[in-house]
Amino acid sequence: MTKEEFLKNQPLISSFYLNAVKKNHLPHALLIYGDNLAPIDEIAEFLAKSLFCDENLACSNCEHCKLFDENRIGDFYIIDGRNQNIKKDQIEELSNQFVLTNKEENKCAAYIIYEVSNMTEESANALLKFLEEPPANVYAILTTTSKESILPTIISRVVSLRAFPQKYNYEEGSIDPKALFLIQGLRLREDPLEIAADKTFNTVFEMAIDFLNLLVFNYEKGIDLLFSKISANLKDQTCYNYFYGIVYQVFICISTNNTDSPFKEIILGLKSHKEAIYNATIFLEKILSAKKLNYNFTLVLGKLATILEAKWQRLNI
């Protein structure tokens, strides 16, 4: 992420950060959160780089920025919880590093914890203690796509900043705008054009769109589709992940009444089911935030269906 992209695409975060730096009142801990379309990891890295930069925002030209890009900043640490749970000993090791590192007065140090929601109870309590008594000049940048899963006591000790979705520009006609919107929301790092050419994605994309359209025009038939065509044709974990991600992204738009998305007709058509859609969105967020998407797909669809029918039946998934 460049300085120009940060200022243009993240006006709330950039405005807050620059004002805090100007007033010499930067919080010791920031939480960058947002949905799957938001570039929260890139924002966290840019802010960390800015802390060490000779200017207020990362310039990529000064010596400190170059050291950061080369992973040679000594007082910068990362804990990555995107693909695994964060353990207590990782937080304790982090805390010990700063006790040793930050002896020098006015020395800046920082750390990023990616997907801080993926913490064990012990690690969350260890982080809470560290946040309550932060060493001087040590700055924390936490990220999450599931803010509601973080301990309220941790939320109370950080400044939470919501990231705006990433915007990509492709040549007109190179990719279906609806497919592009959905691909950007999936938790994948492949190029959207490559995913769009994937036959598996296109098959799931068509099924998901059929399902969403049926929810608008024939609600009961849309629910039935979950157990017939979809469950019969989705055969592997990649298909399941695509389906969860696609439906989740559209449900987010319905829940937030985002009529600027390519799914305006579906959003308007499902307004009357907004409460059920919201509950389904929260459920899918928990599925997508799991360490591994290895749930029984039939049971997941079953619970999704009962939520959409405004019923709640407990299923062992």
Backbone dihedral angles phi then psi of residue 125, each to the nearest 5 degrees: -70, -35
Three-point CA angle 291, 91, 153, nearest 5°:
80
pLDDT(99) > 80: no
Give the 3-state secondary structure of residue 68. helix
C-alpha distances in Å from residue 253, one per residue of 14, 38, 195, 313: 25, 14, 22, 25
Percent of the chain clearing pLDDT 70 (strictly above): 85
Percent of the chain clearing pLDDT 90 (strictly above): 23
C-alpha distances in Å from residue 184, one per residue of 67, 94, 196, 242, 245: 30, 32, 11, 11, 10
Average the pLDDT over 89-107 and give the result.
72
Per-residue confidence band for 30, with pLDDT thresholds at 50, 70 and 90 = very high
**pLDDT tens by residue, 128-185:** 989 988 888 899 999 998 888 888 899 999 999 988 776 555 554 566 777 777 776 6
Per-residue confidence band for 250, with pLDDT thresholds at 50, 70 and 90 = confident
> Are 24 and 80 within 8 A, CB to CB?
no
Give the 3-state secondary structure of residue 9. helix
**pLDDT tens by residue, 255-270:** 777 777 788 888 888 8
Give the 3-state secondary structure of residue 164. coil
> Are 29 and 159 within 8 A, CB to CB?
yes
- What pLDDT is stored for residue 91 in this prediction? 92
- What pLDDT is stored for residue 188 in this prediction? 55
Who wins on pLDDT, 115 or 102? 115
Give pTM, 2 decimals: 0.59
> Are 25 and 79 within 8 A, CB to CB?
no
The rounded mean pLDDT for the chain is 81
- What pLDDT is stored for residue 316 in this prediction? 39
**pLDDT tens by residue, 188-201:** 545 667 777 778 88
pLDDT(248) > 60: yes
Could you say which DSSP state residue 152 is in?
A: H
- What pLDDT is stored for residue 190 in this prediction? 57
